[in-house]
Amino acid sequence: MTMESIPPANNKLLQTDSAKLKDKNIKPVTKCATSDLNLDIDSKQAIDNATGLLQTIVTDKISAKIIRKIPSDEYLHLLHLLDGIISGSIDKHV
């Protein structure tokens, strides 16, 4: 899965140079605390090139461990497969 960076949508968000993410295809563009109570987590956004959807990646600041991806990688992969099936069946009929 290929991910592409997007510009930050909020002026309060800080640019990040790099992130310690396991998936090498994800390029985070923003770094922000989600709330005053959760100062130990970061939220990063990236666009999935295969589906064109925005994916939010929530990580722990201290360990850089991924807590959650919204939508999940499995969901994005399933959408990509379904898109291939649908476009393949349309191409065969035309």
Q: What is the pTM of this model?
A: 0.54
pLDDT for 56: 96
Average pLDDT in the chain:
75
H helices of the chain, where?
Answer: 73-93
**Over the stretch 80-90, which tens digit does the pLDDT of each residue have?**
999 989 887 77
> What is the rounded distance in angstroms from the CA atom of residue 70 to the CA atom of residue 93?
35
**Over the stretch 20-45, which tens digit does the pLDDT of each residue have?**
455 555 555 555 544 555 678 999 99
| In the block, residue with structure tokens 């939508």 | 71
pLDDT for 2: 63
Q: At residue 57, does pLDDT exceed 80?
A: yes
- Supply angle C-alpha 49, 79, 15, rounded to 5: 35
